[in-house]
Structure 1
């Protein structure tokens, strides 16, 4: 068994998947042995097929068709099969030998059959197994060069009708449909392998269109249709490499597909075909893309394609033209242009676009914060601290927040004029902090705290109000100088928490109790704290986790 152990399974799967796999051991069925592999079914949300690869010098590996397993992970279903094999270790050698004997026996029997008997056997199996019949029919059509027959069969494979109820394929039936649709990918690839790449290219395009037409009517929560779409895209690329299609025709199809509503299904990147397109094809690709963009300058897909082509050709002016055709009202697009120009070394133009973004924004309060930061940074770098300060001052006047204040402070310190700027900023904040406007007062409290002016913050909180978090911060900062005031805050907040349950509330309460104890110590009233804790324990004794936490902190 290749030395499979619980420790190896735990290492392969990780602690979480290993633990989650334990309950699934009883769901393992249909264990089948082969040469170096063991397959089985594991019942989970669905019935999943799992395969463990054992033996040899390599470490054990496995595959599973559950969503997590299809991403390449060693999932809980593989853990369940591994644990099943470990439990049956004494019988494994015999079962693997029996599997090898059966394989050799079957091969010998088939080899010994006459042509007539072998044909009769195949016909019998084809009559019983619908999927086998389809696969053989496709291989036969491919061998005959029957493109019409293959096209008809691919249409059947991608038809979701037989799996749909009321026109929609539910999650429970999506897997069966995907398993059938996946055969279309294999068929197209087999055509390329058999020397019929031109037919494979045509059928791949048709199949992509058919899949795109049904994707909205299938519950593809597990992403199976996305995998099939990617498979069809790969099959198309392989066929194009072998067939050598007309570059202009290929360019037109690629642009059309990139702008299609279902482009994400296959995620075909036209630039992946650059070698096949050559100079003539790439010129056509750009021509078709420009025409599409000019017809719809605000379309996301058109802009994205144009930007990709422009960047690949290092055409910075085209990148700017695409952005400039659809400028965002908050200056974000101006920022993108400025960054592109900076990267290209065109710093003067970059600065001009950034400044234009500020000018063309109707309300400085709504301008993209990243644009403000970008322009202020550029001003600082080129030795224009006064302009950086003006920008930060105007932004703060339009949007009085703690972050805007912090940025104004940094700019004013750099310009060596912070005391004056601070007084102007605080005057604006005090004008906002009217008794009826609690928000303005709270912003002022945060800013005074950030400045380290705790006394002013206390006065502002008392005059205009503050939220509990601010009161707590004030109390924490003021215990050494205002222990009585801090104590009052802690007691009020603690009283509120005594009516709550849960470990989070208990941790917050204990933190407050530590503050209360420190305040009493500073006030010289430790007996009052002892009496308070005694009463609290008596009232909260049913909360065992709280009592345990208080014990840990000596409360």
Structure 2
């Protein structure tokens, strides 16, 4: 629990606003009950709300509250208040959890001591009071007595989203209740298997998976509850197959059909889990069916995935390589996957050849998977082939001409003690691109960035003046040269400040004041304090109504 529930986690779940509001409700939390993985309490706001924190759900800590905001699926201020209350009792949490476990053990001991008639009376009493419990037991009873028509009807009913979908969609607030109902399907199918009707249980599982897959499209399952039900159905199907022992070839056919035709199913039925049921005959049939399907559609994701799992399960590295090699990505990514598999199999020479082939077969190195370049450079470095590292980095930089590629070339060339010879050609390439005015998707000239990264500030300033730079680069340049060239830096700061002066908003004001502080520093260096005073006075006169701006300027002595 300590690792799951923290103030940071509460703030992430609730958001800053709800977290801050929840801090004001600490005195409103009453009736805290701590169990083994859950916490409940009442929180008094405009009304009394019941809240519950679940600490060990599929997505970690989650919460539910019956306030209007909580019913919409939000982690509300009342949940924050409960979480903070529990965190304040951090030192007592282990004792309280142990107390909850002790109560559970005592209850189990008491139930175990009851006679059959006493237990029946207790169950009947609860069934009469709890409609959901009654429905759960009814569907289990139908499965146990082999009333297959009733079980099939109840499966359809339990997976029907209608009662939970006011507008044809199950909202987050209702998803958990729907999942609790849908989960009863797994118990019903297990009951049919236990009743000796495993063949029918297999068919029921297939029906339930189809209905659940249809339902998923209309349920906000952000917390993953339906995923747990899907896993439960997969286990129920496997258990039924182990009990029924269907014909191996027929089962293999159905498993392959599901794996290839239901790749997006929430129920992950992995054919390899059925090896003990299929036996040698079934596994042989399974492999043949998988290979035949893959040969017909080598680029199919489901076909490739099944073949890869079969190859790995059988330790057949050559088959695995053949599957990958049949559908090579144009950017060399698949070559990298193959190289890594071969490395893991202890075949480094073949791995290296595949990595080099990936570079050769990529039509444009500007689009190559950069992980492939990094992988190959790492292998060259391990073999002390430093000249090859530099050559590959040079080739990659020539194609991409990005700051990152420049940095990697520089690092490689320095290691090989080539950088003094390599740098002029690299900068010349960037200078030619900058002079052409080649548009970039993000930021200004790479030449300026590269020179800044080299800490060659004067050359960067000259490049920016000659070839152009964006505002980010000019700001960094001004900061770098401010002491040596205050007049030039001042001109940059004044220009960058102008667009902000007419705008509003606290974020804008912070940027503007940051520039004004730099402008003040330049005037101090130039000895032109009177000019600064006049500039600030004019700014205050024109924008005095912007109280937040004026307050921020005062804080910085402007």
TM-score range normalised by the length of the shorter chain: 0.7 to 0.9
Q: CA shift at 1:280, angstroms? A: 4.9
Q: State the distance in 1 between where 2:8 and 2:458 align.
A: 59
Q: CA offset at residue 290 of structure 1?
A: 2.3
CA displacement at 1:444 relative to structure 2: 1.5
Deviation at 1:463, TM superposition (A): 1.8
Number of aligned positions between the proteins: 502
Q: How does 1:441-452 map to 2 (within 5 A)?
A: 442-452=445-455
Query: Residues 511 and 236 (structure 1 numbering): CA distance in 2 closer, same or farther, change over 3 Å?
Result: same
Residue 298 of structure 1 and its aligned partner are, at CA, apart by: 0.7
Partner of 2:463: 460
**How do 1:144-223 residues align onto structure 2 when only pairs under 5 Å count?**
144-158=145-159, 169=169, 171=171, 180-216=181-217
**Secondary structure of the structure 1 residue equivalent to 2:435:** coil
Q: Does 1:402 align with 2:412?
A: no
Which residue of structure 2 lines up, in the alignment, with residue 545 of structure 1?
548
Using the TM superposition, name which of 179-188 and 453-462 deviates more. Answer: 179-188
Q: Give 3-state SS (helix, strand or coil) of 1:487's partner.
A: helix
> In 1, distance between residues paired with 2:516 and 2:503?
15
Cα distance in 1 for partners of 2:501, 2:153 equals 73
Distance 1:438 1:74, change over 3 A: closer
Higher mean displacement: 447-456 or 411-420? 411-420
TM-score by length of 1: 0.74
Aligned to 1:422: 423
**Aligned counterparts of 2:78 and 2:510: Cα–Cα separation in 1:** 39
The verdict on how the C-alpha distance between 1:538 and 1:409 changes in structure 2, with shifts beyond 3 A counting, is: same
Residues 523 and 78 (structure 1), Cα distance of their counterparts in 2 relative to 1, 3 Å cut:
closer
The alpha-carbon distance between structure 1 residues 550 and 363, as it changes in their structure 2 partners (threshold 3 A), is same
SS in 1 for 2:366: coil
Shift of 1:441: 7.5
Select between 494-503 and 146-155 the one with higher mean Cα deviation: 146-155
Question: For the structure 1 residues 69 and 374, does the alpha-carbon distance in structure 2 shift closer, same or farther, using more than 3 Å as the test?
Answer: farther
SS in structure 2 opposite 1:495?
helix
Q: Distance in 2 between matches of 1:391 and 1:79?
A: 54
Per the alignment, residue 354 of structure 1 pairs with 355
Match of 1:525 in 2: 528
Q: Indicate if the aligned counterparts of 2:255 and 2:271 stay in contact, CA closer than 8 A.
A: yes
Give the C-alpha shift of residue 229 in structure 1: 2.4
Q: Distance in 2 between matches of 1:380 and 1:154?
A: 61
Q: Please name the residue that 2:333 is paired with.
A: 332
Task: Say which is worse superposed, 472-481 or 231-240, in terms of deviation.
Answer: 231-240
Alpha-carbon distance between aligned partners in 1 of 2:40 and 2:394, rounded to the nearest angstrom? 69
C-alpha spacing 1:267/1:75, structure 2 compared with 1 (3 Å): farther
CA gap of 1:314–1:476, structure 2 versus 1, over 3 A, is same
Q: Closer, same or farther in 2 for the Cα pair 1:454/1:24, shift >3 Å?
A: closer
Q: Which 10-residue stretch deviates more, 173-182 or 296-305?
A: 173-182
State the secondary structure of the residue aligned to 2:265.
helix
How has the CA–CA distance of structure 1 residues 367 and 530 changed in structure 2, closer, same or farther, with 3 Å as cutoff? same
Residue range with higher mean Cα deviation, 541-550 or 364-373: 541-550
Report the CA distance between 1:534 and its aligned residue: 3.3
Q: CA deviation at 1:338?
A: 1.0
Give the direction of change, closer, same or farther, for the CA distance of 1:175–1:520 in structure 2 (3 Å limit). Answer: closer
Q: Which position in structure 2 is the counterpart of 1:91?
A: none
**Residue pair 2:146, 2:195 contacting (<8 A) in 1 also:** no
The change in CA–CA distance for 1:328 and 1:82 in structure 2 (over 3 A counts) is: closer
Secondary structure of 1:265 counterpart: coil
Partner of residue 535, structure 1: 538
The answer (yes or no) to whether the contact 1:438–1:466 under 8 Å persists in 2 is: no
SS of structure 2 residue aligned to 1:521: helix
- Measured after TM superposition, the shift of residue 433 of structure 1 is 2.5
Unaligned runs of 5+ in 1: 1-8, 54-61, 85-110
How do residues 87-486 of structure 1 correspond to structure 2 at under 5 angstroms? 138-158=139-159, 169=169, 171=171, 180-216=181-217, 225-243=226-244, 245=246, 247-261=248-262, 263-277=264-278, 279-434=280-435, 436-437=437-438, 442-486=445-489
Distance 1:140 1:459, change over 3 A: closer
1:513 to 1:82, Cα distance in 2 relative to 1, 3 A: closer
| CA deviation vs aligned residue, 1:111-167 (integer Å, no higher than 9, x gap) | 89xx9xx9xxx9xx99x999788656545533432334423443444456788899x
Which range moves more in the overlay, 331-340 or 219-228?
219-228
Shift of 1:368: 1.5
The whole-number CA distance in structure 2 between the counterparts of 1:429 and 1:24 is 60
CA deviation after TM superposition for structure 1 residue 260, in Å: 2.6
Matches within 5 A, 1:486-525: 486-525=489-528
Structure 2 segments unaligned to the other structure (5+ residues): 55-60, 86-116
* Structure number with higher relative contact order (C-alpha < 8 Å, ≥ 6 residues apart): 2
Q: 1:485 to 1:180 in 2, by over 3 A?
A: same
The alpha-carbon deviation at position 21 of structure 1 amounts to 6.3
Q: CA-atom RMSD, angstroms?
A: 4.8
Q: CA deviation at 1:324?
A: 0.5
**Residues 552 and 268 (structure 1), Cα distance of their counterparts in 2 relative to 1, 3 Å cut:** farther
Name the stretch that deviates more: 364-373 or 240-249.
240-249
3-state SS in 2 of match to 1:433 = helix
Distance 1:381 1:13 in 2: 42
* 8 Å CA contact 1:435, 1:463 repeated in 2: no
Retained in 1: the 8 A contact 2:161–2:178?
A: yes
